[in-house]
Amino acid sequence: MSLKIHNTLTGKVEEFVPVNPPKVLIYTCGVTVYDDSHVGHGRSLIVFDTFRRFLEHLGYDVTFVRNFTDVDDKIINRAKEECTDFMTIANRYIASYYRDMEAIRVKPADVEPRVTEHMKEIVDVIQSLIEKGYAYESDGDVYFSVRSFKDYGKLSKRSPEEMEAGARVEPSEKKRDPLDFALWKSAKAGEPSWDSPWGKGRPGWHTECVAMIFKHLGETIDIHGGGLDLVFPHHENEIAQAEAVTGKPFARYWMHNGLVTVGGQKMSKSLGNYVTLKEIYTKYHPDILRLLVLFTHYRSPLDFSWEKMEETQRAYDRLKGAIEDYEVLKELEVIPGKGGAHPLYDKVKEVEESFFESLSDDFNTPEALSHIFSLVSELGKVKNRTYSEGKIDESELGAYEYASRFLLNTLKKIFGLLEDLYPECEVRRVVERELEAGEVLDTKLVDLLIEVRTLARQEKQFRIADLIRDRLKELGIELEDTPAGTRWKKR
């Protein structure tokens, strides 16, 4: 089956054809790091993380880039409020961002560039625009001439006459036209600045992504993504700059996720109606937020409420329970099989086909989940009947195991759900975090890991047991299994 996605540029659902298959180049706009990330950010991050996992499942070789805006008016203002420098603020919230992403199971991008590390590339783009007649310098500032680019407005479907000056751009007498937007802002006293042909200053918001995409992905990429609120002016301005420089299409497909609202209003820091990701995952398992996001089609608005989180918790418990119930059924009396293929095998095949058909049709995650829950319902019928009888046919038990493993593997691989249902992933995460930090595990944690390893061996989960032993050995801790239990010592 072919993959089809909605292209904001054409307004149509189109077959996805990469520039150089099987390679796929994706860029999504990252966060401006002046505060903790909220659910609105989390939705976009989860959507594109899941879409990336799906592309990889389909066999594409994905290069995924997501940036940090680490110099900006909001960052500078936050630094002034705290009597510190802008980089301290940026570094603090980049570290916070990484903690949030680990918590909600969003995989790191292949490249995560920072604006402050790309000043040369930004200056080069601006210089090229001036040379080609699309931009002009005005008393230390540089502006893009919107009316000089004939296709301006093709993404947002607006003509220049219908537009107002771009967001994050202060009105200025230096502009030739109110629609023109800043590419370079001349330095102000007490603010960070960099050298340029036009004097010290810093870049405008809309040029950053163009320069980083050119450097890390090239002049034409397959997919450019982000929230719906970025269509205009940010992405519109990106197209104008990039295509004015190269004369080539900037991105073949533009994907935009719908906004997160609260009571019908956009969730945002400026309105003060936002919920941070930390608030979510300190109250709920992070899978609940992922599932809430996936229950809504990515292009539709998602109205957040704590009541919906509770509803999603119940749905998640059904998913998890269907998989964990296999352990319950194993404890029943197992009777000889009746022979023949169990209907559950056909149900799994049907669900698998329907699941991937839905995802291939403009990444329809709610429809895909409806197929998953139809299998959960079938497993529930088997569990209720056999549990009440106190026995289970061995062929039915085998079919249940097959179906529950399909659920677990599919939800883990594609949706990033249930990664810690069995302890291996969580053990790996804890130990590898210690290895990255270059720290030695303390005594209590070593004892805890040995206890988990002992339980794993008792349950014949030898891969988990070996993982713990090997990771501890890397940390300089030797295990010795004796009749009296496992002992450990530092090398």
Q: What is the pLDDT of residues 21-61, one digit of tens each?
A: 999 999 999 999 999 999 999 999 999 999 999 999 999 99
The DSSP line for 252-307 is EEEEEEPPEEETTEEP-TTTT---BHHHHHHHS-HHHHHHHHHTS-TTS-EE--HH
Task: Respond yes or no on whether the N-terminal peptide bond of residue 22 is cis (omega within 30° of 0).
Answer: yes
- Give the whole-angstrom CA distance, residue 213 versus residue 7: 19
Which of 82-86, 241-245, 273-277, 421-425 is the least confident region? 421-425
Residue range 454-458: mean pLDDT, rounded = 79
Kindly state whether residues 336 and 446 are assigned to the same domain. no
The DSSP line for 335-400 is E----S--HHHHHHHHHHHHHHHHHHBT--HHHHHHHHHHHHHHHHHHHHHHHHHTEEEHHHHHHH
In a domain, 187, yes or no: no
Residue 431 pLDDT grade (very low, low, confident, very high; cuts 50, 70, 90): low
Residue 168 pLDDT grade (very low, low, confident, very high; cuts 50, 70, 90): very low
The per-residue pLDDT for 63 is 98
Find out whether 212 and 65 touch, Cβ atoms under 8 Å.
Answer: yes
Kindly state whether residues 402 and 456 are assigned to the same domain. no
Residue 164 pLDDT grade (very low, low, confident, very high; cuts 50, 70, 90): low
Kindly state whether residues 433 and 398 are assigned to the same domain. no
Residue range 90-96: mean pLDDT, rounded = 97
Percent of the chain with pLDDT over 90: 76
Compute the mean pLDDT over every residue in the chain, rounded to the nearest whole number: 91
The per-residue pLDDT for 160 is 79
Q: What is the DSSP letter of 114?
A: B
Residue 3 pLDDT grade (very low, low, confident, very high; cuts 50, 70, 90): very high
The residue with greater pLDDT, 58 or 470, is 58
The per-residue pLDDT for 429 is 53
The residue with greater pLDDT, 39 or 479, is 39
Query: Does 170 have pLDDT greater than 60?
Result: no
Find out whether 49 and 107 touch, Cβ atoms under 8 Å.
Answer: yes
CATH number for the domain that contains residue 354 = 1.20.120.640
The per-residue pLDDT for 115 is 98
In a domain, 290, yes or no: no
Domain that holds residue 332: 306-415
Of 398, 415, 432, which residue constitutes the final position of a domain? 415
The per-residue pLDDT for 433 is 54
Kindly state whether residues 474 and 358 are assigned to the same domain. no
Kindly state whether residues 97 and 228 are assigned to the same domain. yes
Q: Considering its fold, how many domains does the chain have in total?
A: 3
Of 364, 387, 415, which residue constitutes the final position of a domain? 415
Residue range 280-303: mean pLDDT, rounded = 96
Which of 131-140, 162-171, 229-238 is the least confident region? 162-171
Which of 214-228, 260-274, 281-295, 357-371 is the least confident region? 260-274
Which of 123-127, 159-163, 446-450 is the least confident region? 159-163
Q: What is the DSSP letter of 78?
A: H
Kindly state whether residues 338 and 320 are assigned to the same domain. yes
pTM recorded for the entire structure: 0.84
Residue range 72-76: mean pLDDT, rounded = 96
Kindly state whether residues 404 and 427 are assigned to the same domain. no
Query: How many CB atoms are located within 10 Å of the residue 435 CB?
Result: 13
- Give the whole-angstrom CA distance, residue 6 versus residue 208: 25
Kindly state whether residues 367 and 318 are assigned to the same domain. yes
Cβ-count burial of 112 within 10 angstroms (0-12 exposed, 13-18 middle, 19+ buried)?
middle
Residue range 259-266: mean pLDDT, rounded = 91
Residue range 288-297: mean pLDDT, rounded = 98
Q: pLDDT tens for residues 209-220? A: 999 999 999 999
Of 397, 415, 433, which residue constitutes the final position of a domain? 415
Residue owning tokens 């500032």? 141
Kindly state whether residues 356 and 436 are assigned to the same domain. no
Q: What is the DSSP letter of 35?
A: S
Query: How many CB atoms are located within 10 Å of the residue 91 CB?
Result: 14
The residue with greater pLDDT, 333 or 162, is 333
